[in-house]
């Protein structure tokens, strides 16, 4: 459910006309709905109210400071993967004891920054990282709370690029290695193991892989208990999918109920790291048709948003629904919707039926609130888009459009 709807044949974000936003702020333009973000967070978080839990929004999905502030006001904790994300989360007012630090390649300075802030815990992904954290913590006279990220070897049945919990993936530790790692961690003076973590992949559309991973983790917890290691925190990562096309992922309520049932009486503090399910359908990318072009085999709609603005279709062949911003009655055309970038892989959609579109008209690309702007770049020296948040009747410029000065700002 989101708040992008047609009113009198014109697409609106909450109470604001998209056409007016485009006229005021230009295109390509990311538009987020505050009511949708709040609603998604609340739906997800309340699904776990039966458990002691913390919802740590995964910052990588959409890290705009205003988005983070809005979620922090809802009580969100945050899952971060870099010093930059830590900086954003703290600036957004997230209490450090609601921050968990994931990722396979944390550098010493990032570890030091997180220790200084006194975050809840590090999700450790290798033995090398464990020793690095121990050294940094010792040099600062601190104790680092950690979890190991377990790779449970479960097939999440999603796109291979966003599957993370299988043996062949770079993430986490297999259980045998993890067992030894916990033993080592227990002996290290500046480390306290407090939890277990796993994240098996993203855009999962069924609950079974989560439950399969959970079952493996719970029996692993018992083995650790026998070794005298007490696990209080269980971080189950993110990964719950959304509807881009015709997928029917479980509603967060159904997801929560299944997990709460499996965790009943286990006395664990549960951490969840949802990203896409909070932000994905809370954002659209608005783009203007620059040209229409007919070749002997194709009709192209050349729009002003390219793979530098939204890379998901090019990178994962992912489907994003597209519609015209102002409804029209013209007959449908089968379009390849492409951007201005000099790459054949620069497309937003292929063979998409849309009513005939004319130069200067606007399209909306849906489900662009997660992994949209955060994965954007300046390729082809294109200026990154502006980001707008609509909140009822209010419009917030959450990030202004870049300028040519911004483009050269860091160069000699
Ligand atoms: N926790 C960890 C440790 C993660 O690596 C991720 C996502 C999440 C949580 C949040 O997952 P979510 O709830 O959003 O599925 N760029 C790709 C997605 C990559 C996801 C990476 N990790 C895409 O556009 O589909």
Q: Give the confidence band of 287 by pLDDT, cuts at 50, 70, 90.
A: very high
Which among 88, 80, 142 is positioned nearest to 106, based on CA atoms? 80
DSSP letters of 181-196? HHHHHHH-TTEEEEEE
Q: Give the confidence band of 68 by pLDDT, cuts at 50, 70, 90.
A: very high
Nearby residues of 325 by Cβ (< 8 Å), 6 or more positions away? 10, 11, 18, 19, 22, 286, 361, 362, 363, 364
CA of 316 to the centre of ligand 1 (A): 13
207 SS3 class: coil
Report CA dihedral (100, 104, 108, 110) to the nearest 10 degrees: -40
Question: Which of 163, 164, 238 has most ligand 1 atoms within 8 Å of CB, for mutation?
Answer: 238
321 and 368 in contact (C-beta within 8 Å)?
A: no
CA of 53 to the centre of ligand 1 (A): 20
pLDDT digits (tens, 9 = 90+) for 332-368: 999 999 999 999 999 999 999 999 999 999 999 999 9
34 SS3 class: helix
CA of 143 to the centre of ligand 1 (A): 28
CA distances from 312 to 129, 163, 282, 367 (A): 30, 15, 16, 11
Over 70: is that where the pLDDT of 215 sits? yes
pLDDT on residue 165:
67
Q: Give CA–CA dist 383/221, Å, rounded.
A: 49
What percent of the chain lies above the pLDDT cut of 70? 100
Ligand 1 interacting residues, C-beta cut-off 6 A: 58, 61, 79, 102, 162, 199, 202-203, 237-240, 273-277, 312, 316, 370-371
CA of 370 to the centre of ligand 1 (A): 9
Which letter, b or e, does each residue of 279-293 get, where b requires 16 or more Cβ atoms within 10 Å of its Cβ?
A: bbbbbbbbbbbeebe
Q: Give the confidence band of 161 by pLDDT, cuts at 50, 70, 90.
A: confident
Nearest atom within ligand 1 for CA of residue 203: 15
pLDDT on residue 186:
96
pTM score, two decimals?
0.97
Nearest atom within ligand 1 for CA of residue 375: 16
pLDDT on residue 166:
73
Q: Give CA–CA dist 397/390, Å, rounded.
A: 9
Written as six digits, the tokens of 67 are: 């988005």
Nearest atom within ligand 1 for CA of residue 103: 3
Question: Which of 239, 242, 320 has most ligand 1 atoms within 8 Å of CB, for mutation?
Answer: 239
CA of 275 to the centre of ligand 1 (A): 6
Question: Which of 122, 150, 202 has most ligand 1 atoms within 8 Å of CB, for mutation?
Answer: 202
Q: Does domain 103-272 have CATH number 3.20.20.10?
A: yes
Q: Which residue(s) pair with 281 in the sheet?
A: none
Average pLDDT in the chain = 96
Q: Give the confidence band of 169 by pLDDT, cuts at 50, 70, 90.
A: confident
Which among 257, 178, 184 is positioned nearest to 221, based on CA atoms? 178
Which helix (H) or strand (E) segment holds residue 373: the answer is none
Atom 5 of ligand 1, residue of closest alpha carbon:
199
Atom 19 of ligand 1, residue of closest alpha carbon:
162
Nearest atom within ligand 1 for CA of residue 149: 3
135 SS3 class: helix
Over 70: is that where the pLDDT of 195 sits? yes
- Segment 66-74 shows an average pLDDT of 98
pLDDT digits (tens, 9 = 90+) for 125-148: 999 999 999 999 999 999 999 999
| From 56, 198, 260, 342, the catalytic residue | 342
pLDDT on residue 38:
98
CA of 1 to the centre of ligand 1 (A): 21
Active site residue 198: no
pLDDT digits (tens, 9 = 90+) for 84-119: 999 999 999 999 999 999 999 999 999 999 999 999
- Segment 212-235 shows an average pLDDT of 96
Nearest atom within ligand 1 for CA of residue 279: 14
Atom 9 of ligand 1, residue of closest alpha carbon:
238
CA of 401 to the centre of ligand 1 (A): 26
Q: Give CA–CA dist 115/101, Å, rounded.
A: 10
Q: Give the confidence band of 157 by pLDDT, cuts at 50, 70, 90.
A: confident
**CATH class for the domain made up of 4-32+280-408:** mainly beta
Over 90: is that where the pLDDT of 391 sits? yes
- Segment 227-237 shows an average pLDDT of 96
Question: Which of 273, 282, 309 has most ligand 1 atoms within 8 Å of CB, for mutation?
Answer: 273
52 and 44 in contact (C-beta within 8 Å)?
A: no
- Segment 4-9 shows an average pLDDT of 98
pLDDT on residue 410:
97
Structural domain boundaries of the chain? 4-32+280-408, 103-272
Over 90: is that where the pLDDT of 82 sits? yes
pLDDT on residue 167:
73
pLDDT digits (tens, 9 = 90+) for 294-323: 999 999 999 999 999 999 999 999 999 999
Over 80: is that where the pLDDT of 282 sits? yes
Residues in the chain: 412
CA of 59 to the centre of ligand 1 (A): 9
């Amino acid at each position: 459910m989101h708040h992008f709807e047609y009113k009198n044949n014109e697409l609106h974000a909450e109470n604001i006309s998209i056409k007016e936003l485009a006229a005021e702020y230009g295109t390509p333009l990311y538009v987020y709905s505050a009511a949708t973000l709040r609603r998604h967070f609340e739906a997800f978080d309340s699904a776990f109210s039966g458990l002691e839990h913390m919802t740590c929004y995964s910052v990588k999905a959409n890290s705009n400071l205003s988005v983070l502030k809005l979620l922090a006001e809802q009580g969100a904790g945050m899952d971060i993967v870099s010093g930059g994300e830590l900086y954003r989360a703290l600036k957004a007012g997230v209490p450090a004891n609601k921050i968990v630090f994931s990722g396979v390649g944390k550098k010493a300075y990032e570890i030091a920054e997180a220790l200084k802030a006194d975050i809840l815990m590090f999700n450790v992904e290798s033995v090398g990282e464990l020793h690095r954290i121990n050294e940094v913590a010792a040099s600062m006279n601190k104790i680092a709370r950690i979890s190991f990220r377990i790779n449970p070897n479960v097939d999440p049945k999603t796109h291979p690029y966003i599957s993370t919990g299988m043996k062949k993936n770079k993430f986490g530790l297999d259980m045998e290695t993890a067992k030894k790692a916990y033993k080592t961690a227990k002996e290290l003076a500046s480390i306290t193991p407090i939890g277990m973590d796993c994240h098996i992949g993203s855009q999962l559309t069924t609950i079974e892989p989560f439950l399969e991973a959970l079952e493996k983790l719970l029996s692993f917890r018992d083995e650790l208990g026998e070794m005298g290691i007490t696990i209080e925190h269980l971080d189950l990562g993110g990964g719950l999918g959304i509807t881009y096309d015709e997928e029917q992922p479980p509603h967060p309520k159904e997801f929560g109920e299944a997990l709460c049932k499996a965790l009943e009486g286990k006395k664990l503090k549960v951490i969840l790291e949802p990203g896409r399910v909070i932000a994905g359908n809370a954002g659209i990318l608005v783009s203007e048709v620059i040209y229409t072009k007919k070749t002997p085999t194709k009709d192209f709609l050349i729009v002003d948003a390219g793979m530098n603005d939204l890379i998901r279709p090019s990178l994962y062949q992912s489907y994003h629904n597209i519609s015209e911003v102002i409804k029209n009655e013209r007959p449908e055309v089968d379009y390849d919707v492409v951007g201005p970038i000099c790459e054949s892989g620069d497309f937003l959609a292929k063979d998409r039926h849309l009513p005939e579109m004319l130069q200067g008209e606007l399209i909306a690309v849906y489900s662009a609130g997660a992994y949209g702007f955060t994965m954007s770049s300046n390729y082809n020296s294109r200026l990154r888009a502006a980001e707008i948040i609509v909140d009822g009747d209010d419009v917030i410029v959450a990030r202004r459009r870049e300028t040519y000065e911004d483009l050269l700002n860091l160069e000699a």
